[in-house]
Structure 1
Amino acid sequence: MSTVLVVEDTPSEMELINSYLKESGYSVINASDAKEALDKATQLRPDVVITDVVMPGMSGFELCRSLKKNPGTEKLPIIVCSSKNQELDRLWAMKQGADAYVTKPFNRDDIVKAVKSVT
C-alpha cells in the first residue's frame, strides 16, 4: 500500500483528499503547512506528496523546490493540487519539480489518477 503525504491548509480540502485516498486503499499522512511537510517527508518517507500552492509561510512551489534539492527526497513524486488553473501555473509547477498537476475543484478520479500516474 502506498503512503501519500497531503499538504493542505484548508481542513475541508484536506478531509476530502483524505477520504478519496483512503477509499482507494492509500495510507495518508497529513501536514497543514510546507514546513511540517518537509519534516514529515524526510522522517516518514511517503511514496507521493500532494500539495496545495497557496499556504501561509512557504508556498507549495517552494516546497517542491526544497524537496527536490534534498538528496533524501529528491526522487519523491509531487502532485500540485491548486485552484490556479492557468497553463502558466501548470508549467511553473513542473519547472519547480512537480510531477503532476490537479486543479480544484477535483473529484476522486482526478486525485487517484494523478497518484497512479506518478507511482
Structure 2
Amino acid sequence: MKDGNSGDQKTLLLIDDDPNLILLVKDYLEFRGYQVVTAENGREALEVLQETAPDMIICDVMMPEMDGYTFVEHVRSNAETEWIPVLFLSAKGQSQDRVKGLSTGADVYMVKPFEPEELVAQVESSLKQASRLIRQQNKGTGSAPAINVPFDVDLTPTELKVVQFVARGMANREIAEELRVSQRTIESHVSNMLGKTGLHNRTELARWAIENQKA
C-alpha cells in the first residue's frame, strides 16, 4: 500500500463488507484530509496490516470470513499493532453489544446508521487520545511500571535512529519516509529491537529509549 505524501496525514484502515458504506465513508474521510485504506473483512484486513501501519482502524462487527471481534483480538495480541485505536461500527445498539465490543478491545463503539460528522469527531478524539497516551508514556512518569531490560542491549546505528523516531511518537510509515526506506524495513528494525530488549510494544520501547538516554 502506498503511504501518504505528508508526514502529518493520518492513515485510517476502514473494514466493512458493505461496498456502499465503504465508498461513502472513504470519500468523506478523504475529504477531511485522511488517507483511507480499505478491506472487506477481518482476514483481508490482517493482510493489509502486514503492509502498512494505520494510525487508526474503523471496523464493522459482523463480516464474513472473519468478524470484527476476531480481527480485533488478533490486533490486540500483536505487539506491532496492539497500540492502534479501534472504532467499531455495528447495527447492534443494545447495551450488551456495546459492552462486548469494548471488552473485546475496541476503543469506540458506534451504532449504524450514524452521522458522518460524528464519525469524524470520534476519529479525531481517538487520535488525540492516542497521541496523549504516547506522550505520557514517553515521559516515564513515576506511576508507570519500570522498564526492565538487560544492560547489554547493543543497537546498530540504524536501529538507534529508528528508536529515536519511535520515542518521538512517529509511526513506522512516517519513520520510513524520514529515512527514505520501505515501511517493511522499519517494521523489521522495530521487531528486532523488541526482540533484543524483551519489551512488548512500541510504547515500552519508546520509554526505554528515553529513560536510558537513547533518544
Does the alignment pair 1:6 with 2:14? Answer: yes
1:35 equivalenced with 2:43 (yes/no): yes
1:83 aligns with 2:91: yes
- Per-residue deviation at 1:42? 3.2
Q: How big is the shift at 1:110? A: 1.7
CA distance in 2, matches of 1:2, 1:78: 14
CA distance in structure 2 between the aligned counterparts of 1:78 and 1:42, rounded to whole angstroms = 17
Q: Distance in 2 between matches of 1:42 and 1:107?
A: 31
> How many residues are aligned here?
119
Give the alignment's TM-score, normalised by structure 2: 0.54
Q: What is the Cα-based RMSD across aligned positions, in Å?
A: 0.9
After TM superposition, where is structure 1 displaced by more than 2 Å over at least 4 residues in a row? none
> Which AA in structure 2 matches 1:53?
V
Structure richer in strand, relative to its length: 1
Q: What is the identity, as a one-letter code, of the residue corresponding to 2:34?
A: Y
Q: Which residue of structure 1 lines up, in the alignment, with residue 155 of structure 2?
A: none
In the alignment, does 2:61 pair up with 1:53? yes
1:118 to partner: Cα distance: 1.1
Of 76, 80, 83, which aligns to 1:72?
A: 80
Matched, 1:109 2:114: no
Could you tell me the percent identity over the aligned residues?
A: 35
Cα separation, 2, equivalents of 1:79 and 1:34: 14
Relative contact order, higher structure (CA 8 A, sep 6+): 1
**Structure 1 residue 89: Cα displacement:** 0.9
Match among 23, 30, 39 for residue 22 of structure 1: 30
Question: Shift of the alpha carbon at 1:19?
Answer: 1.4
* Structure with bigger gyration radius: 2
Is the contact made by 1:65 and 1:96 (CA closer than 8 Å) also made in structure 2?
yes
Cα deviation, 1:18-69, whole Å, max 9, x if unaligned, reads: 0121111100000011011112123200000000011001110111111000
